Every structure is written in C-alpha cells, then in structure tokens.
Amino acid sequence: MAAYAVPVELTDQDAAQMIREADLPLLLDFYSPSCTPCRTLAPVINRLARQFFGRVIIAKIDTSTNRLSAGHYGIRGVPTLIFFKNGQVVDQVVGALPDDALVAQLNSFIRS
C-alpha cells in the first residue's frame, strides 16, 4: 500500500481544513512549479510520502495559484516546509534540504 502513497495536493479551499483535522503529523511543502529548488525537492517529497506512509501526512501546495495559504503562513521563499501537529505549526524549514536531513527531521517530528 505504501508504494501508492503520494503527497496530497492542497488548495486554498482545503488546506485549512486538512491542517485542522489531520489525525497524523502533517508536513506541508509550499512550492512553485517555476522554482528550480522546488523541482529538485519534488522527488524527495514523493519518496517521503511513501516512506512515512501511515505515520505522517505529506502534502504540498502550489504558492503560485494558492496565494491565500502562502500569505497566511508568511511564505516569502520556496520551497518552505512547515511541520504541523494538532493543527499547530511546530517547525519550519526554508530551502531544499538533503534527503537524510529531512528523514532525520521527520523521525524527530514523529517522536516529539
């Protein structure tokens, strides 16, 4: 089943509800299709969705078409990764981190 896990694509219309109602920790990737580091990070996000399936919800939101959500969270640069637990921001990373750093951060995020 985890082989079919993919990041959830959110919009301004459904992001707030997903963040509020998520029953697992949530990693939200704010990205833009025109951003080179975002395109580099995309396969990593896809792998993380499979690797952490059932333990973390991995989602993404395109800031070029969903400006309300980006503005609400003060996104000034992409990629920006925001970690949520129980609807609250618990951490934020700006920029594309290496795979192993993201895996370590997610493992720490799950344990906290």
The catalytic residues are 35, 38
Q: Residue 39 is inside which H or E element, if any?
A: helix 36-51
Q: Are 10 and 61 in contact (CB under 8 A)?
A: yes
State the CB neighbour count (10 A cutoff) for residue 35: 18
The CA distances from residue 40 to 32, 59, 68, 88, 108, in Å, are 11, 16, 24, 27, 23
